[in-house]
Amino acid sequence: MKHFLTLKDFTKKEILEIIETALQIKRELKTGYYNSELKNKTLAMIFEKSSTRTRVSFETGMFQLGGHALFLSNRDIHLGRGEPVKDTARVISSMCDMVMIRTFKHSMIEEFASYSKVPVINGLTDSYHPVQLLADYMTMIEYGINENAIVAYVGDGNNMTNSWMILAAKLGFELRIATPKGYEVESEVLADALKIAKESGAIITVTNDPKEAVHGATIVTTDTWASMGQEDEKEQRIKDFKGFMVDDLMMCLAKKDAKFLHCLPAYRGQEVSESVLEGHAKIVFDEAENRLHAQKGLMVWLNKQR
Nearer to ligand NVA, 41 or 262 (CB): 262
State which of residues 48, 223, 271, 287 lies at the interface with ligand NVA (CB under 6 A): 223
State which of residues 46, 85, 160, 220 lies at the interface with ligand NVA (CB under 6 A): 160
Closest approach, Cβ 287 to ligand CP, in A, equals 9
Active-site entry in 106, 132, 176, 270? 132
Interacting residues toward ligand CP by CB under 6 A: 51-54, 124, 132, 263-264
- List binders of ligand NVA among 261-280 (CB under 6 A): 263
Active-site entry in 126, 223, 237, 293? 223
Active site residue 132: yes
d(CA 291, CA 288): 6
Alpha-helical (H) ranges within the chain are: 12-30, 53-64, 85-95, 106-115, 130-142, 159-171, 187-200, 210-214, 234-240, 248-253, 274-279, 281-304
Q: If contact means CB under 5 to 8 A according to the sort of partner, which of ligand CP, ligand NVA, none does residue 19 touch?
A: none
Helix then strand count (H, E) for the chain reads 12, 9
Q: If contact means CB under 5 to 8 A according to the sort of partner, which of ligand CP, ligand NVA, none does residue 52 touch?
A: ligand CP
What are the b/e assignments for 247-263, b being 16+ CB within 10 Å?
eeebbebbeeebbbbbb
Nearer to ligand CP, 263 or 302 (CB): 263
Contact 279, 219 (CB under 8 A): no
Considering only 6-14, 115-123, 201-209, 221-229, which stretch makes contact with ligand NVA by CB under 6 A? 221-229
Closest approach, Cβ 36 to ligand NVA, in A, equals 29
* 47 SS3 class: strand
Q: Give the residue among 210, 279, 216 at the shortest CA–CA distance from 246.
A: 210
Active-site entry in 156, 291, 293, 295? 291
User: Residue 234: phi, psi to the nearest 5?
Assistant: -55, -50
Nearer to ligand NVA, 97 or 126 (CB): 126
Q: Give the residue among 102, 137, 142 at the shortest CA–CA distance from 122.
A: 102
Nearer to ligand CP, 38 or 288 (CB): 288
CA pseudo-torsion sign 50, 227, 111, 197: positive
Catalytic residue numbers read 102, 129, 132, 223, 263, 291
Interface residues with ligand NVA (CB under 6 A) are 124, 129, 158-160, 223-224, 227-228, 263
